[in-house]
Amino acid sequence: MSQATSGFHSRSGRFSRRGNILLIYLGGGVLIAAGGLATYFTAVTSGPSAPNVVATAALPDQVVLAGALLEAGVSPEALAVAGLTAQEAIPVIQAALDAAQSRIIQLRTALENKHTAQRQYTQLRRQGTSTRQQLQEAKAAVLTASQTYDGLIALVNIPAVDQLDAAEQRRFSASHTNAARDLPLQYGAFNWSPDQASAIAQASRQKSACESRGESIDSETASTLSWADANADVAVASQSIEARLESIRNIWDSGVGFRN
């Protein structure tokens, strides 16, 4: 780890993190969503066909902050994959939180603008009477709003990454790159080629299927996974996930305000 920053400040709240039940206030109502913040923010902010589900002005600060951290890749899982201890994760989370908190109004506004642009584009497409120019302009508005939000997210990511040493940065960056790949968590620690990632993902699925049937895996699957497990970054990540992930999750929850 690089030189740690100062103290870690807890923010109170009554929200649980990824993987738990999440209560989000939506326009006077309450949405109970299984799957947590990552799923929720993906639904709200991803793609030009994102549904009209939320007025971001109604979201508690904790949810906006948590969404910013997750979008920036500063999740407990990524920190465990990077190989951090719970204590080492504190300044990383704090740096990201400070960056997000100092821009909470801009983040909220950018998220609202992004959602509005996506909603308007979706409505135009569904109408079926919009001109090509209207659709192009609406799509351009989505791109502009997305770029603005992504620029703010980058400013949340940068100070967090600055807290990491070179090896931790490498694994942290790889976990972000691999987030869209169907890989078990520990294999996210290395920047595989597309073919390598595909082979590992397929072998992992095959292993899970065999285990569910009480069968032994074939030699090719075993060889692929043994080769992947021998990777030094994967070994670090595996150890860290096993020993530290739960503690890092607790610290993350407390920092964002999902745990008193």
Query: Is the separation of the CB atoms in 253 and 16 below 8 Å?
Result: yes
Residues 152 and 209 reside in one and the same domain: no
Q: What is the pLDDT of residues 86-130, one digit of tens each?
A: 999 999 999 999 999 999 999 999 999 999 999 999 999 999 888
Q: Which of 216, 164, 169, 173 is nearest to 191 (CA)?
A: 173
Q: What percent of the chain has pLDDT over 90?
A: 71
Q: 82 pLDDT exceeds 80?
A: yes
Q: HSE of 51 in the Cβ direction (CA atoms, 13 Å)?
A: 6
**Which residue range is the domain that position 79 belongs to?**
21-180+238-254
Separation between Cα atoms, residue 239 and residue 80, nearest integer Å: 9
Higher pLDDT, 255 or 9: 255
Rounded to the nearest 5°, which phi and psi values hold at 6? -75, -160
Q: Residue range 76-82: average pLDDT?
A: 97
One domain for residues 130 and 86: yes
Q: What percent of the chain has pLDDT over 70?
A: 77
Same domain? For 39 and 67 the reply is: yes
Which CA distances in Å does 129 have to 118, 187, 211?
18, 47, 53
To which H or E segment does residue 103 belong?
A: none
pTM over cut 0.85: no
247 shares its domain with 204: no
Quote the number of domains for the chain.
2
Any idea what the Cα angle at residue 102 is, between residues 101 and 107, rounded to 5°?
Answer: 70
Q: Is residue 13 part of a domain?
A: no
**256 falls in which pLDDT band (50, 70, 90)?**
confident
Mean pLDDT of the region 60-73: 92
Q: Tell me the β-bridge partners of 23.
A: 32
Backbone φ, ψ for residue 123 (5° rounding): -65, -40
For residue 54, what pLDDT band results from cuts at 50, 70 and 90?
very low
Do 133 and 217 belong together in one domain? no
pLDDT of residue 257: 79
Q: Are residues 84 and 195 in the same domain?
A: no
Answer whether residue 260 is part of any domain: no
CA dist., res. 170 & res. 84, Å (int): 12
Cross-strand bridge partners of residue 31: 24
Average pLDDT over residues 158-162: 97
Please choose, from the candidates 164, 163, 203, 165, the residue with its C-alpha nearest in 3D space to the C-alpha of residue 183.
203
Q: 50: closest CA among 92, 7, 105, 111?
A: 111
pLDDT computed for residue 260 by the predictor = 52
Residues 129 and 214 in one domain: no
Lowest-confidence range among 37-51, 61-75, 166-180? Answer: 37-51
- On whether both 29 and 131 belong to a single domain, the answer is yes
Closest by CA to 241, choosing from 80, 82, 17, 85, is 80
pLDDT mean across residues, the chain = 82
Check residues 192 and 22 and name the one with the higher pLDDT.
Answer: 192
Same domain membership, residue 242 and residue 215 = no
And the tokens for 57? 């002005």
